[in-house]
Amino acid sequence: MLNKSNTKNLTAKQYRTITAFVAAIIGFSVSLANLTGIYISMLVITIGMAVLLYAKSRVKDVLEDERDKTVGGEAARLAIGAYSTISIVVMFVLYPFRLQNPFFETIVLTLSFSACALMGIYSLAFYLRNKGVKPKTFFWALIAVSLIVFLTGVRLLSGEDSWICKDGEWTEHGKPSSPKPVIKCTNGK
Amino acid sequence: MENKIKELRTKQNITQEELARLSKVRRETIVFLEQGKYNPSLKLAHDVAKVLKTTIDKLFIFGD
C-alpha cells in the first residue's frame, strides 16, 4: 500500500524527465489516432495527466517560484500580442485571395476567431486574478467548462438521435428531431 | 539593483543550491539575483536576508 513514508520523493530533474517521457507517449498516441481511434488517444492523455499530477505531488524541489511566474506573465502577454499580430498579417495576406482557394478563408477565420478568443480569455483571467480568484479555482472552472463542452459536443455530434443509412434506406436511430433526409441514401457511404 | 548576496553567501559557506532551498526558490533565481538581473519581491528579499542573517537594507544597494 502506498503511503507518504515509503514512497520515494522525486527531484525536479526526475520530474522533468517523466514529463518529457509522458509527452512523447501522448504525442505518439495522438499521431496514431487515425489508426487506433481517438478514444485510445484520449485515454492515453487522461492517464498521462494523472501520472504527471501524481509525480508532481512527489516532487520535493521547488518547481516554480516567483521569478517563473513574473517572467511567465510577461512572456504570456508578449505571446498573445505576437499571435494576434501574426493573425492580422496572415488575414491581410490570404483574405483577398479567398476566391482562388476557399481554404484561405477557413484559415483566416480560424486565426482571427482564435486570436479574439485568446484575448478574451486573457482579459477574463486578468480580471479574476485581480479580484483575488486563485489559479486553482480558475483551473477547476476550466476543467468543468471543458467537460461540459466535450459532453455537449459528443451528445450533439455522435448521431445518437439521428437518421442512419442502412441497406439503401434511411432508418431512425433513437428519436431524431430533424425530418428524414431528402438526399439519396447510398448504403451508408 | 546591486546586492551583496554572493558576498555574504560565500562568507558563510552556503552554496547557491542551499540558499535556494532555504529561501524556497529555484537555484536559477538565486543566480539571477546575484547577477542583479532580477528584483525580488519583498517577501523573497526578506527570506534571503533572513537566511544570510542580515537585513534587507544591508543586503540590497538601493540607488538614489
Share of chain B above pLDDT 70, in %: 98
CB atoms near residue A58 (< 10 Å) = 15
User: What pLDDT, on a 0 to 100 scale, did the predictor assign at position B32?
Assistant: 94
The separation between the first and the last C-alpha atoms of chain B, rounded to the nearest angstrom, is: 11
Average pLDDT over residues A54-73: 90
Q: What residues in B contact A62, CB-CB < 8 Å?
A: 20-21, 24-26
ipTM reported for the complex, 2 dp: 0.84
pTM over 0.90: no
Share of chain A above pLDDT 70, in %: 93
Average pLDDT over residues A111-122: 92
Instruction: Please name the member of B21, B24, B32 whose beta carbon is closest to the beta carbon of A67.
Output: B32
> Phi and psi for A165 in degrees, rounded to 5?
-90, 115
> Phi and psi for A164 in degrees, rounded to 5?
-120, 145
CA angle B42, A69, B49 (to 5 degrees): 25
User: Above 80 in pLDDT, residue A110?
Assistant: yes
User: Above 70 in pLDDT, residue A189?
Assistant: no
Q: What is the DSSP string of chain A?
A: ---TTTSPPB-HHHHHHHHHHHHHHHHHHHHTHHHH-HHHHHHHHHHHHHHHHHHHHTB-S----HHHHHHHHHHHHHHHHHHHHHHHHHHHHHGGGTTT-HHHHHHHHHHHHHHHHHHHHHHHHHHHHHTT--HHHHHHHHHHHHHHHHHHHHHHHS-SSEEEEETTEEEEES--SSPPP-SPP-TT-
User: What pLDDT, on a 0 to 100 scale, did the predictor assign at position A187?
Assistant: 58
User: Above 80 in pLDDT, residue A34?
Assistant: no
Q: What average pLDDT does chain A have?
A: 85
Q: Tell me which of B32 and A179 has the higher pLDDT.
A: B32
Residue to test with chain A: of B21, B23, B25, B27, most A Cβ within 10 A:
B25
Report residue A87 as a C-alpha cell: 493573425
User: Above 70 in pLDDT, residue A160?
Assistant: no
User: Rounded distance, CA B23 to CA B2, Å?
Assistant: 19
Q: What is the pLDDT of residues B35-55, one digit of tens each?
A: 999 999 999 999 999 999 999
Average pLDDT over residues A36-61: 88
User: Above 70 in pLDDT, residue A11?
Assistant: yes
User: Above 70 in pLDDT, residue B64?
Assistant: no
User: Above 80 in pLDDT, residue A158?
Assistant: no
DSSP label at residue B15: -
Binning pLDDT at 50, 70 and 90, where does residue A79 land?
Answer: very high
Residues contacting residue A59 through CB under 8 Å, at least 6 positions apart? A9, A10, A11, A12, A14, A15
Average pLDDT over residues A77-98: 92
A167 near A153, Cβ under 8 Å?
no
User: Rounded distance, CA A71 to CA A13, Å?
Assistant: 21
Q: Which of residues 1-60 of B touch A (CB under 8 A)?
A: 20-21, 24-26, 28-29, 32, 38, 40-41, 43-44
User: Above 50 in pLDDT, residue A133?
Assistant: yes
